[in-house]
């Protein structure tokens, strides 16, 4: 019986601010980074989990992982995964540490790293990729991993069981479909805000040639340049789906006004039009900009925020984040909330490691929870994958299902040597 004997942390950062990959209206010089929680065990495997940041402060997440470590170290894995909801509740409700959130900010990002590491370890012990581990759970086992606290006015355990039970028939057929066709994806990395018009054109053309069928651009600094960028992208991609991402830059009335200028471009969604905390603001924007959809989630702090975004009919697309939420357990909760509300889940990705994680999450959503690919598409950006032992692979604009055991956070030793902050070779 494997026991978690301790937790190590690892602070890795990629110097993406040099190329402006990842740049947007609010984050103009990100260094895409991972704060790692590495569960040491007395068995053959380590559990490797990560949370994503964009540079400075990654060390704070590592320190927070260390602060949470006593709640995990010494425990048998079977005990932790046998009571997933209880474990998650203990981690997020330490009588003193919870004051730092609760369930938000640095302490919740650190929770994500640890929780993701637990699932990685469990999947490795079962010799399955994470998505397969979850697909093989019974509906009962699935809900046992979910803490329904603060959700029961909308979704309780029984309702969740009904939702999951309804998707049991056809699970194997959907897995076979994903193994054959992959999961639909869209490309963000043609339209980073720091790129020139020429770069955008070249990247769109290369992407079309690779088989991409959906695209996203960054907007929000200047109306005229947004209009021009949308024109350029429409010229290059024709009438393929085009989304836009404002990264929280607008006031509520400003978002509504700005989107009038982008009406000609038939955008599928506007993403993060305002403060990620502003549920009611998103609802007001959604009412005003229809038929353009509203998408948000990468900064939605926890399942309670998603509960409200869905209850207020504030979003058309639910963008769960593998690391902003408190790891797999809370992601499962939000997948259930979204299915319950009939809103498609289109995970946020693009950051360091996120593409590696979301292919698992989208597969879980399709196979176990929603049973639908309609109006679903998962973000992809084409950088930093070379650092991962089990990198995200896209063919013809669709994510291939990962096959290696675990949750895909493992880095190559050479990448650890290069990216470790501040001692790695790229930082020296």
The catalytic site residues sit at 218, 348
State the nearest-atom distance from the C-beta of 307 to a copy of itself, in Å.
Answer: 7
Q: Which stretch binds a copy of itself (CB under 8 A): 41-49, 55-63, 328-336, 376-384?
A: 55-63
Which residues are CB-neighbours of 372 under 8 A, at least 6 positions away? 344, 366
Rule CB under 8 A: is residue 94 a binding residue for a copy of itself?
yes
Cβ atoms of 312 and 279 closer than 8 Å: yes
Instruction: Give the relative orientation of helices 354-364 and 328-341 as an angle to the nearest 10 degrees.
Output: 50
Give the one residue of 8, 20, 43, 60 binding a copy of itself; rule: CB under 8 A.
60
Whole-angstrom Cα Rg for the chain: 20
Interacting positions 302-321 with a copy of itself (CB under 8 A): 302, 304-305, 307-308, 311-312
Phi, psi of 383 (to 5 degrees): -140, 155
Give, in order, the Cα–Cα distances in Å from 293 to each of 21, 24, 187, 276, 316: 26, 20, 18, 16, 5
Give the one residue of 9, 92, 167, 274 binding a copy of itself; rule: CB under 8 A.
274
Cβ atoms < 10 Å from Cβ of 401: 21
Rule CB under 8 A: is residue 341 a binding residue for a copy of itself?
no
Q: Give the three-class secondary structure for 35.
A: strand
Residue closer to a copy of itself by CB (options 168, 280) is 280
Rule CB under 8 A: is residue 374 a binding residue for a copy of itself?
no
Give the one residue of 252, 292, 294, 333 binding a copy of itself; rule: CB under 8 A.
252
Cβ atoms of 15 and 22 closer than 8 Å: no
Going residue by residue from 208 to 247, which x/- string records binding to a copy of itself, judged by CB under 8 A?
----------------------------------------
- Distance between CA atoms of residues 373 and 320, nearest Å: 16
Cβ atoms of 77 and 122 closer than 8 Å: yes
Residue closer to a copy of itself by CB (options 88, 399) is 88
Cβ atoms of 145 and 332 closer than 8 Å: yes
Cβ atoms of 299 and 273 closer than 8 Å: no
Give the one residue of 7, 12, 31, 130 binding a copy of itself; rule: CB under 8 A.
31
Give the one residue of 54, 118, 262, 364 binding a copy of itself; rule: CB under 8 A.
54
Cβ atoms of 329 and 147 closer than 8 Å: yes
State the nearest-atom distance from the C-beta of 95 to a copy of itself, in Å.
Answer: 5
State the nearest-atom distance from the C-beta of 348 to a copy of itself, in Å.
Answer: 12
Q: What is the DSSP letter of 97?
A: G
Residue closer to a copy of itself by CB (options 89, 228) is 89
**Residues near a copy of itself (CB under 8 A):** 26-31, 53-57, 59-61, 63-64, 67, 93-109, 149-150, 152-153, 248, 251-254, 274-281, 284, 299, 301-302, 304-305, 307-308, 311-312
């Amino acid at each position: 019986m494997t026991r978690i004997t301790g937790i190590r942390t690892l602070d890795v950062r990629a110097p993406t601010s040099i190329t402006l990959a990842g740049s947007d209206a609010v984050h103009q010089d990100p260094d895409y980074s991972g704060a790692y929680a590495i569960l040491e065990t007395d068995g053959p495997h380590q559990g490797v989990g990560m949370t994503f940041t964009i540079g400075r402060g990654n060390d704070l997440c590592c320190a927070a992982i260390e602060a949470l470590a006593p709640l995990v170290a010494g425990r048998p894995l079977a005990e932790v995964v046998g009571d997933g909801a209880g474990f998650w509740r203990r981690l997020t409700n330490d009588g003193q540490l919870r004051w730092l959130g609760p369930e938000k900010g640095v302490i919740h990002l650190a929770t994500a790293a640890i929780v993701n590491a637990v699932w990685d370890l469990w999947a490795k012990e079962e010799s399955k990729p994470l998505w397969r581990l979850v697909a093989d759970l019974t509906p009962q086992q699935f809900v046992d991993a979910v803490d329904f606290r603060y959700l029961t006015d909308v979704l309780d355990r029984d309702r969740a069981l009904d939702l999951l039970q309804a998707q049991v028939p056809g699970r194997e057929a959907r897995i076979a479909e994903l193994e054959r066709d992959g999961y639909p994806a869209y490309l963000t990395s043609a339209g980073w805000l720091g790129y020139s018009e020429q770069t955008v054109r070249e990247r769109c053309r290369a992407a079309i040639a690779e088989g991409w069928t959906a695209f996203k651009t960054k907007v929000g600094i200047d109306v005229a340049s947004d209009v021009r960028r949308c024109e350029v992208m429409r010229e290059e991609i024709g009438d393929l789906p085009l989304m836009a991402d404002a990264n929280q830059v607008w006031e509520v009335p400003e978002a509504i006004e700005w989107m009038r200028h982008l009406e000609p471009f038939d955008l599928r969604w506007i993403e993060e039009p305002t403060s990620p905390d502003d549920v009611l603001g998103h609802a007001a924007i959604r009412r005003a900009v229809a038929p353009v959809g509203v998408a948000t989630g990468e900064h939605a702090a926890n399942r309670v925020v998603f509960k409200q975004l869905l209850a207020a009919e504030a979003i058309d697309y639910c963008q769960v984040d593998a690391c902003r939420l408190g790891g797999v357990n809370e992601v499962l909760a939000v997948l259930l909330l979204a299915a319950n509300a009939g809103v498609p889940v289109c995970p946020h990705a693009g950051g360091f490691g996120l593409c590696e994680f979301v292919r698992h999450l989208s597969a879980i959503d399709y196979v176990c929870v929603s049973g639908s690919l309609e109006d679903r598409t998962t973000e992809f950006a084409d950088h930093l994958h070379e650092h991962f032992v089990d990198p995200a692979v896209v063919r013809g604009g669709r994510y291939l299902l990962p096959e290696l055991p675990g949750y895909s956070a493992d880095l190559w030793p050479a990448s650890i040597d290069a990216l470790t902050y501040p001692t790695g070779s790229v930082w020296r």
